[in-house]
Amino acid sequence: MAEKKKFLLRIDENIYAALEKWAADDLRSINSQIEFLLKDMLRKAGRTIDKTQDTSKTDDSNS
């Protein structure tokens, strides 16, 4: 499994409560629900990241 970036999220308590219920309805943790929703919105916006592409390294062999 790929490493996951940790970060602090401050969120309105009403939004959190709605996400908590939605996550429970879908049998997910809140974290998994947020990640699921973000991935879905990225895909719909055409901003998905190709997992086969490693952007942290560059190929300098042609330099």
Locate the domains of the chain by residue range: 13-44
- Confidence (pLDDT) at 17: 98
Q: Tokens for 25?
A: 């309805």
Q: How far apart are CA 63 and CA 57, in angstroms?
A: 14
In tens, the pLDDT along 5-59 reads 999 999 999 999 999 999 999 999 999 999 999 999 999 999 987 765 444 444 4
- Confidence (pLDDT) at 2: 75
With beta carbons less than 8 A apart as the criterion, state whether 30 and 23 touch: yes
Q: How far apart are CA 7 and CA 20, in angstroms?
A: 18
- Confidence (pLDDT) at 52: 57
With beta carbons less than 8 A apart as the criterion, state whether 23 and 32 touch: yes
Q: Tokens for 27?
A: 């049998």
* Amino acid sitting at position 18: A
Q: Tell me the pTM.
A: 0.70
- Confidence (pLDDT) at 48: 80
